[in-house]
Structures are given as C-alpha cells and as structure tokens.
C-alpha cells in the first residue's frame, strides 16, 4: 500500500486552518473525489455533505462544495447531522459519495473530512489512495464546462429523516413512557436529533451539551467527559444517562447512580438480549483487541463467540461484513448495529440499551454488570528513536510476559497509529501479575527507545 499523505485511519484530520485541514486541501478533496466518482454516463451526479458544530466547518464546507461543483457534481448540504446520519442519507438519496466534516471526539481546534461510498460504508484504503493520487493535480485540470457545473442546495429535512430512521430501530410496541433520561450531546452533531428522538418515543428528556457555539464541542462534556453526564443524572434523578461524542457515532451510558458503563458491557447487554430474542446474526460479536477478557468469557458462557480485530471501527465493520455479524464495536463506545446502520451510531446503540431497560423493568445499575471485568492495565510509552518493538530486549520481555500470562490472561503490545507511542496492555485474573508484567515490558520499551 502506498504512503499516505493526507488520509489517516479515519479520513483526513488535523488542526483547523493548518495543513492538511485548510480550505485548499478541502477544495482538492472535492475536485479529486468529484472527478473519481463522476462516471462516464451523462446523468447528474450527487454528493451529500454533513458536518458537526465546530466553527471551522463554516470554512471547510464551502471549499468542498466549490471543489465538487466545479468537477460537475450536484451538492446537497445537511448542516449539523451525526456521522451515521450522513452515511444513511448517502444511501437513501442515492448519492455517489457522502462527506462528513468532523473531528469526532477531538476539541474544536481540530477538524476532519470523512468520505462514504454510495453504499454508506467508509471508503476503502485503495479508493482513498486513489483520491490522494489525484489531489495534487493542477487546480484547473479536468474542470466541468460552464453549462455542466454542479448545482448546490441545502436540504432542510435531513435531521427529521434521521430521527424517523432512529425511532424505527426501537422495538415496535415498546415506549419510553415513564422514563427520565439525561442526555449529554457534547454540544455536537446530535444536539437536536438525539433529544427529539427520545422525546418522541415517550421519554422525559433532561438534555445537557445542547448549546453549541462553534467552540464548545466536546469541551468538558460528551462521552470523553462522562463526569458531566454523571452529575446530570444525579441532578435530575434520571433513570439512565446517555453521552454522545461530537459526531454522535459513539455512546457511553451511566446508570441511575451516575456510574459509567463502558462499550464492552453495552455490547454484552445487547448481544445477550439479541441472542435471547433470536436477533443476533453470526453467532457472536466482533470487537477489537482492546475489549476486556470478561466480555469474551460472558459471550462464551452463552455459547457465543468474540472475534477480535485491530483497533479502529472500520476494521470491526470489515470483519462484520466478511463474517455476516450484525453486532460489533469498541470498548470506547463505538457500537455498530449492522441491521440499522453502516457505521457506529451512538443514539441507536442507546436505544437498544433502553429497549432492554424497558422490557426487563430492572434498574440500569443491575443491567450494567453483564460480566465481571478482568483486571486490565494499559500504559503508553513515549519513545524518541528507532523501532523499540524490533529490539531483542523488548522481544525477550514480551516472550517472558506471555509465558507468565499463559492460560490466565493476555498481553497486547502495539504502536500508536498517530504518535511515537507504544501501547502496552495486559489483563488477567491476578491484578498483581498484570501490573508486574506491564511494568517489565514498559521498562524494556523505555530502555530500547530512549535514544541512548
């Protein structure tokens, strides 16, 4: 695979108004993707564009629009809409390509450009590389003639359409009547659609993080700051708390006592419920190497499997599509419900949890503990030089650690995809052993990567 210059593991991302997150790069993305997705037939071609609430979206969106329209593509802009909503609308409106402008759970200082194919799935590495190879062409190459320029329109009912699709994912015959729900929308893309959906399904909604000003997205709120949700749950005496991130593709739940429930427990809850109802497809769940061993054991005890992939929701989705699974996700709260969506959807995942809550009649604090979490320790080691994972000392430390954990736990050592960091994670039933194993591997990595 070629060297990536613009695209990372989740589209193009960077600090707003600094390369690569500049109007010029956005323009080049529009031109390149427009040229690539314009097929030779003479029908109108369409791109749909959504965004979250960050200030820099006002700069990136018009640049993308200019690029696509000058390549001859019609453009429809949605304004603020969750990432999964943009993926859905790409498919629903039969667009050739969909674009989401967001840096997900990062602060307003960053922004990003994420692309979806006509099927609503994130573009493959091969297609992203093709777009990259076309991005550095001259800005006036292959432009549409004056009579074939794209037309641009704002679509005002995209949010309403997403609300209806989200509501349809909630089991028929159930209602949220009588439930008080605290929701933190991270001052992000879900700030209108999420409270509206819950309200229309019958809940009493206590919403926070619903006053975006362009600069407060994810700021001390949302799924990356669950303490804000926990406080709201207590303040409003809510039955459950839901926190989304800036583009609403991930979710964290709080029980009625304000205790945080992570993505692993949510996946176990939904998987075991779906298995009981005959809705789980594929005989198990797809998660990443970071998911807790406790999740694996809980699924195995119910006769289900846990398939693990590399970290990143796109790898989870790929495995789900290959193996015919309809449930997968990440510990961080990225849950993919393949029956309903082509990417992680925080709101729809929360609705599945709410369905179990309503049907069981039990408090969230009881449902939250689907399995005992196995002690897990993660440490990030920054290094300055070389490739520490290739050193003999590190290899020996890893082999020793794996031998000590054999049969009682597991070790995971991997480089970060974006920084000079090595992530060392171990888990097992003996917390002391886990701690000591991580310490030994970390010491070896530090010695190998100190540049001495």
Give catalytic residues, as residue numbers: 104
Residues whose CB is less than 8 angstroms from the CB of residue 291 and which lie 6 or more positions away in sequence, other chains included: 263, 264, 267, 306, 308, 330, 331
Contact yes or no for 1/83 (Cβ under 8 A) = no
Distance CA 351, CA 386 (A): 47
CB atoms within 10 A of CB 16: 18
DSSP 74: E
Residues 112, 114, 120, CA angle at the centre, nearest 5°? Answer: 160
Contact yes or no for 256/276 (Cβ under 8 A) = no
Backbone phi and psi for residue 419, each to the nearest 5 degrees, phi listed first: -135, 170
Give me the DSSP letters along 344-382: --HHHHHHHHHHHHHHH---HHHHT-SSPPPPEEEEEEE
DSSP 40: S
| Cis amide bond preceding 20, omega within 30 | yes
Distance CA 426, CA 403 (A): 12
Distance CA 73, CA 186 (A): 33
Using alpha carbons, select from 162, 46, 157 the residue that is nearest to residue 97.
46
């Amino acid at each position: 695979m070629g060297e990536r210059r613009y695209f990372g593991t989740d589209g193009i991302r960077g600090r707003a108004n600094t390369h690569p997150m500049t109007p010029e790069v956005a323009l080049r993305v529009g031109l390149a993707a427009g040229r690539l997705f314009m097929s030779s037939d003479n029908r109108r071609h369409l791109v749909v564009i959504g965004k979250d609430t960050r200030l820099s979206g006002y700069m990136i969106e018009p640049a993308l629009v200019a690029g696509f329209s000058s390549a001859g593509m019609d453009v429809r802009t949605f304004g603020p809409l969750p990432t999964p909503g943009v993926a859905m609308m790409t498919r629903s409106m039969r667009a050739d390509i969909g674009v989401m402008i967001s840096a997900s759970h990062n602060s307003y200082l960053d922004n990003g450009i994420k692309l979806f194919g006509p099927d609503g799935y994130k573009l493959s590495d091969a297609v992203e590389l093709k777009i990259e190879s076309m991005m550095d062409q001259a800005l006036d190459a292959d432009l549409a003639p004056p009579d074939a320029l794209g037309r641009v329109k704002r679509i005002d009912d995209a949010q309403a359409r997403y609300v209806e699709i989200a509501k349809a994912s909630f089991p028929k015959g159930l209602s949220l009547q009588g439930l008080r729900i605290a929701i933190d929308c991270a001052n992000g893309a879900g700030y209108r659609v999420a409270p509206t959906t819950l309200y229309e399904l019958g809940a009493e909604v206590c919403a926070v993080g619903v006053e975006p000003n362009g600069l407060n997205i994810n700021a001390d709120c949302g799924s990356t700051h669950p303490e804000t949700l926990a406080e709201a749950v207590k303040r409003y005496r809510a039955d459950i708390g839901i926190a989304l991130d800036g583009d609403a593709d991930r979710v964290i739940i709080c029980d009625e006592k304000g205790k945080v429930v992570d993505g692993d427990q949510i996946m176990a809850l939904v998987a075991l419920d779906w298995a009981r109802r005959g809705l789980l497809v594929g005989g198990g769940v797809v998660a990443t190497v970071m998911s807790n061993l406790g999740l694996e054991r809980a699924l195995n005890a119910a006769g289900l499997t846990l398939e693990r992939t590399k970290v990143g929701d796109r790898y989870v989705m790929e495995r789900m599509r290959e193996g015919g699974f309809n449930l997968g996700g990440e510990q961080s709260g990225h849950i993919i419900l393949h029956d309903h969506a082509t990417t992680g959807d925080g709101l729809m995942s929360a609705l599945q949890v709410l369905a179990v809550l309503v049907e069981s009649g039990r408090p969230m604090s009881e449902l939250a503990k689907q399995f005992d979490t196995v002690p897990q320790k993660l440490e990030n080691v920054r290094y300055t030089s070389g490739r520490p994972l290739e050193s003999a000392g590190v290899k020996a430390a890893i082999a020793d650690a794996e031998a000590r954990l054999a049969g009682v736990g597991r070790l995971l050592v991997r480089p970060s995809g974006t920084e000079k960091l090595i992530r060392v994670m171990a888990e097992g039933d003996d917390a002391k052993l886990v701690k000591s194993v991580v310490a030994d591997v970390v010491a070896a990595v530090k010695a190998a990567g100190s540049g001495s």
